[in-house]
C-alpha cells in the first residue's frame, strides 16, 4: 500500500504514515460486517477474529507514546453525519483499542462549520503543526470521513553540527542538480550495504533509543525507481552492524495530504465506499458508507532532529576519525521512521528534490 502511494505521486517528495492509516482502517473493520468486512480484512491482512485483531492493535499502540525524549501523537478519528447514531460498543472499542475518536458533526446543516471543527480537532492533536486537513469540498451529503495524522518530534542521539551545513548540489535526476543545504556529521551509526536492493542504508537514532530514521540511498543517482521495485518488505532494511560513517544528508521538510479513497479501491477495498456498505456494527442507522479517508503527514529533518528545538552540539573526539565510510545522500532516496520496540512504521517517505 505504501509504494502504491509513491506510484500515484512519483514526481514529488512524498510522506505517508502506514501506522496511522492501518489503525484507522482497523477500527472501521470492527464496525463492518459481511463482504464489507471481508474486503477490509483481506486487503489489510487482518485476522478474521475481531478479538485477536483488537488485541494486536492494542499491543501495537501501547508502547507508542510520548516520553521525555520524543513526542508522538496519533490523531485518528471518524466523523459521522448527525443522523447516524453511533453504537456505544463501537465507540468504546475505538477509544480503548484504537486510541481513536468518534464524533457526530452536522455535515448537512453546517458543512463549513463541520469542516472547521474537524480541522480544529486535528490541529489541537498535532501541536498545531497539521492544519487544514479536511478540504472545504466536503458537501452536505457527506456521511462518514476518516481522518488520520501523526505528529512526531525527537532529537537525534548524535546531532549534526550546524556549522558544517553547506549549500551543495543535489541531483534531482542523473544529471540535473539543484542547490540545497546539506548537513554533515561524523560518528558511529548503524550502516549496511545491500546488494539485493542496490542501496546503502543508514540508521539515525533518536535520543533515548525509542525511534530511528533509516535512509535508503540507491547506489545510482537515478536508481530510485529500481530501488522501489525491489523493496517489498521492511525486513530488507534491517541494520545489524555499526560503522564510523561520514554522513551527508539534506535538511528537508515534507508536508503532504493524501486522499486514500481511490488508492484503497485499487487494492480491492470498494464496498465500504458504496451504498452496499454494511457498517451496522458502527451505527444502527441504515445506509452509512465511507466518503473519504484523508491523511496529512508532516516531517522536518534538521541538525537537531525531527521538528526539534535547539540543543547543544556534541563534538566527536578526533581519535575516532579512522577508516570512515562515506554516506552522501545527494540524490533521491527513501526514508523510514520506525518505533524501535515494535518496528511499527510511523512514516515512510521519498525525498526527490529540494523545495
Please tell me whether residues 160 and 203 are part of one structural domain: yes
Q: What is the pLDDT of residue 310?
A: 37
For residue 223, how many C-alpha atoms fall within 13 Å in the half-sphere facing its CB?
15
Please tell me whether residues 108 and 217 are part of one structural domain: no
Please tell me whether residues 181 and 136 are part of one structural domain: no
In a domain, 3, yes or no: no
In a domain, 2, yes or no: no
Question: How many domains does the chain fold into?
Answer: 2
CB 1 within 8 A of CB 331: no
Please tell me whether residues 266 and 197 are part of one structural domain: no
In a domain, 1, yes or no: no
Distance separating alpha carbons of residues 53 and 30, to the nearest angstrom: 9
Q: What is the pLDDT of residue 8?
A: 62
Q: What is the pLDDT of residue 318?
A: 47
Please tell me whether residues 161 and 267 are part of one structural domain: no
Please tell me whether residues 314 and 245 are part of one structural domain: yes
CB 282 within 8 A of CB 90: yes
**Burial group, residue 284, by CB count within 10 angstroms (0-12, 13-18, 19+):** exposed
In a domain, 72, yes or no: yes
CB 157 within 8 A of CB 165: no
Give the 3-state secondary structure of residue 264: helix
Quote the DSSP letter at residue 319. G
Q: What is the pLDDT of residue 153?
A: 85
In a domain, 74, yes or no: yes
Distance separating alpha carbons of residues 346 and 152, to the nearest angstrom: 9
Residue whose C-alpha cell reads 498545531 in the numeric block: 128
Q: pLDDT truncated to tens, each residue of the chain (355 aa)?
A: 566 655 566 678 999 999 999 999 999 999 999 999 999 999 999 999 999 999 999 999 988 877 788 888 888 999 999 999 999 999 999 999 999 999 999 999 999 999 999 999 999 988 888 889 988 778 999 999 999 988 888 889 999 999 999 999 999 988 899 999 999 999 999 999 999 999 999 999 999 888 999 999 999 999 999 999 999 888 888 898 999 999 999 999 998 899 999 999 999 999 999 999 999 999 989 999 999 999 998 888 998 887 544 333 444 444 455 578 999 999 999 999 999 888 899 999 999 999 8
DSSP track, 42-84: HHHT--S-HHHHHHHHHHHHTT-S--SSEEEEEEEEEEEETTS
* Cell, residue 280: 451496522
Please tell me whether residues 87 and 235 are part of one structural domain: no
Domain hosting 312: range is: 155-253+301-351
Distance separating alpha carbons of residues 191 and 207, to the nearest angstrom: 18
Residue whose C-alpha cell reads 488520520 in the numeric block: 148
Residue from 41, 106, 13, 119 nearest 75 by CA: 119
In a domain, 98, yes or no: yes
Residue 71 sits in a domain whose CATH number is 3.30.497.10
DSSP track, 222-246: T-HHHHHHH--SGGGG----EEEEE
Please tell me whether residues 163 and 150 are part of one structural domain: no
Q: What is the pLDDT of residue 312?
A: 39
In a domain, 8, yes or no: no
Please tell me whether residues 267 and 248 are part of one structural domain: no
End-to-end CA distance of the chain: 26
**Burial group, residue 342, by CB count within 10 angstroms (0-12, 13-18, 19+):** middle
Distance separating alpha carbons of residues 82 and 103, to the nearest angstrom: 9
Please tell me whether residues 292 and 310 are part of one structural domain: no
For residue 345, how many C-alpha atoms fall within 13 Å in the half-sphere facing its CB?
20
Q: Give alpha helix (H) positions in the chain.
A: 2-8, 18-31, 34-44, 50-61, 88-98, 111-124, 224-230, 261-266
Q: What is the pLDDT of residue 214?
A: 97
Residue 197 sits in a domain whose CATH number is 2.30.39.10
CB 107 within 8 A of CB 117: no
In a domain, 4, yes or no: no
Please tell me whether residues 265 and 139 are part of one structural domain: yes
Residue from 229, 191, 199 nearest 216 by CA: 199
Q: b/e per residue, 260-277, with b = 16+ CB within 10 A?
A: bbebbeeeebbbbbeeeb
Please tell me whether residues 204 and 241 are part of one structural domain: yes
Amino acid at each position: 500500500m505504501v509504494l502504491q502511494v509513491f506510484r500515484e505521486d512519483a514526481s514529488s517528495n512524498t510522506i505517508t504514515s502506514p501506522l496511522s492509516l492501518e489503525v484507522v482502517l482497523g477500527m472501521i473493520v470492527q464496525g463492518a460486517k459481511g463482504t464489507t468486512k471481508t474486503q477490509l480484512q483481506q486487503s489489510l491482512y487482518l485476522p478474521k477474529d475481531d478479538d485477536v485483531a483488537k488485541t494486536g492493535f492494542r499491543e501495537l499502540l501501547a508502547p507508542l507514546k510520548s516520553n521525555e525524549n520524543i513526542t508522538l501523537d496519533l490523531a485518528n478519528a471518524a466523523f459521522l453525519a448527525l443522523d447516524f447514531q453511533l453504537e456505544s460498543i463501537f465507540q468504546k472499542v475505538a477509544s480503548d483499542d484504537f486510541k481513536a475518536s468518534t464524533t457526530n458533526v452536522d455535515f448537512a446543516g453546517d458543512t463549513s462549520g463541520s469542516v472547521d471543527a474537524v480541522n480544529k480537532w486535528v490541529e489541537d492533536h498535532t501541536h498545531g503543526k497539521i492544519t487544514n486537513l479536511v478540504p472545504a469540498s466536503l458537501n452536505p451529503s457527506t456521511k462518514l470521513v476518516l481522518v488520520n495524522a501523526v505528529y512526531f518530534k525527537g532529537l537525534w542521539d548524535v546531532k549534526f553540527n550546524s556549522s558544517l551545513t553547506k549549500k551543495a548540489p543535489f541531483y534531482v535526476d542523473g544529471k540535473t542538480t539543484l542547490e540545497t543545504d546539506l548537513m554533515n556529521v561524523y560518528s558511529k551509526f548503524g550502516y549496511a550495504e545491500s546488494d539485493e536492493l542496490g542501496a546503502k542504508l543508514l540508521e539515525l537514532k533518536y535520543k533515548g533509543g525509542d525511534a530511528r530514521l533509516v535512509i535508503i540511498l540507491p547506489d545510482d543517482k537515478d536508481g530510485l525507481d529500481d530501488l522501489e521495485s525491489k523493496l517489498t518488505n521492511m525486513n530488507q532494511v534491517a541494520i545489524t552492524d555499526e560503522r564510523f560513517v561520514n554522513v551527508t544528508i539534506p535538511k528537508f521538510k515534507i508536508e503532504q495530504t493524501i486522499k486514500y479513497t481511490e488508492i484503497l479501491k485499487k487494492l480491492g477495498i470498494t464496498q465500504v465506499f458504496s451504498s452496499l456498505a454494511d457498517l451496522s456494527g458502527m451505527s444502527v442507522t441504515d445506509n452509512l458508507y465511507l466518503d473519504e479517508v484523508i491523511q496529512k503527514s508532516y516531517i522536518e529533518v534538521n541538525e537537531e532532529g525531527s521538528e526539534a528545538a535547539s540543543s547543544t552540539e556534541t563534538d566527536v573526539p578526533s581519535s575516532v576519525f579512522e577508516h570512515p565510510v562515506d554516506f552522501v545522500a545527494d540524490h533521491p532516496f527513501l526514508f523510514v521512521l520506525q518505533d524501535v520496540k515494535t518496528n511499527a512504521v510511523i512514516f515512510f517517505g521519498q525525498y526527490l528534490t529540494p523545495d
